[in-house]
Structure 1
Amino acid sequence: MKRRNTVTKASARLVLQAETTNQIKPYHEAVAEFIKHCQIKGLSSHTVDFYVKELKQTRRAFAEIDAPLHNLRQFQTHHIEQLIEHHQALGRAVSTINSRLRASRTFFSFCLRKEYVTANPHDGVNQLKARHEVGPTFTKRQLKKLLDAPDLTTFIGLRDLTIMLTLAHTGIRLTELTSLCVQDVSFDGKGSITVQRAKNRYARRIPLTDRLKTVLHAYMEERGVLDTDALFISVENKPFHARSIQDRMRHYGMQTGVSKEVAVSPHAFRRTFCRLKVEAGTNIFVLQRLTGHQSLEILRRYVEIYGRDLEEAIEQGFDGI
């Protein structure tokens, strides 16, 4: 029997279904779907912003190495390796490259579940080895200079002192500080701050030091009752945003001269909190509860560098020698 030159309608439908299953999905469309997925999943705005930023930069780099952005299915492991080499040639920091690799790996895992790719091109590609360093911290002298700088005869000065003292005496992150509401502060007994919007999604309570309790109470009396619940506000009675807080930190850094020695930032206050607690012998598990670190790895670095047991151990065994 001679074979026909045309295929049956049933065969044509099978071919069409195969083409639909192996649909071509451009990078930018898949990223938009991934970001929407992250928002629906309930990830924090900070995490979503991280993915938006890193995937945008990664897309730009992929374009520069002529990766197949028009069809995710064509991505292979060598494209990820070329991406790393491209970043290294531009002199990007190891931490920057690793952040983009983490974001990209998670994105391609999403694409694999959606069947936009047949395999994650990141499989077999490890993150770059980074130096495990602890960022710069303030000395007690530098910290005192910063806390003594605000003019307490003005609302701005009182607010800025309260912000810096909160950062210094609780070790909270900038995003956690800006999310604080008036109702998150309690003056009952020892007093405490409840961090509701923590990075690891677990709310935590941080007791107040005596000085922070006094300063916070004075600030909240001066702040008064407003339409906004935001704890820290501008002179226009609007929530005081992260960028403005960073600007104020830099202002006091330049005013006191501390910025010539250490970059003054909210995170420098957090690192200093960790250092001072370790030097004081605070239990690492208690410190983890105070700071909200999901892993003990970072806190172990502080213990290794600032732990007092090293000074005590180095003298042991040399009695009379």
Structure 2
Amino acid sequence: MRPARAVLPALLALAVGLPATAAAQAPAAPPGPPPGNGGELPAPPGTAPSFVPAGTPGAIPGGASGPGLLGNGTVNFNRAEHTFSFPLACQQSGSVRATARVVSKAPIARAGYRCAGNRTTARLRVSGKVANKLTRRRAVAVTATVTQAGRPSKVYFTLRAGGGAVEKKGFWTDGHLQCADSSGAPQAYLVEPDFTTASPTPISTRGWVAWYTPAGGWHWYGAGGENAGRWDTWTASVTGITQFHPEGAVTPVPWTWGPIAVPPGQGITAVGVYEIVYWVGGKPDHQWQYVNAGTAGAAAAGGGSLYCAY
């Protein structure tokens, strides 16, 4: 089932709507799939609440909190050599362990890496058996556990072994990441899209703010902290999420996560992402997309930007 406000064309140019200093801070590519990459879905929801709870505050950590992915979250598999590689922002040398649940319960590859100049490329080789499975599936969600000084961190990407052009994620047509509060203070507010369906449908949603620094790469912040999100249960209908339209009100009052304090002066770039699971006959249909940074609806009108810059 597809919502009326689901898929838009490819992402806008990265620096659209950003001042020159913000554009210089923008990463080379957006972060790609959120934690879990569609493999950590909730149980089918029970009864949805009849109200919209208050938003919860949060705070993005200051400084580099560990290694982070660089690039757009899609990694190509070399079928001839049984290898794949991906770039990381790093703070010291370490090791990588890659897992793909649909391919193997055990890790599919392990390797060490050398960090130099805050950058490295992790290069991994898989067995012939795993290579055959990857080739048959063409695209697989991978979680890479990157360990530095005994401390593990996780990064997420899609490993592709063919299958045509990579689909670029677009925007949900509403919902947005507000970059600052009314005074201009560096506090983010993630506003949930008003998802629609052709008939009343239970849904589970989860919001994320991905943040980037040159020293740390991309990291994910959820309602439970770094790499820790929370699934919420709602009811979607042809007019939107029913809880956002009390007594049939036309203008929605969506759930808003925030304020999320952002440490200034560290060149942080932030992106808002929302996941949704449509429960049809008890079976999940999972999707995710970015939300516009700034004014709600700007992306739907063909303007706006992807990034908040601090």
Q: TM-score, normalised by structure 2?
A: 0.22
Bigger RCO (CA 8 Å, 6+ sep) = 2
In our comparison, the structure showing a higher alpha carbon Rg is: 1
Please state which structure has a larger fraction of its residues in strand. 2
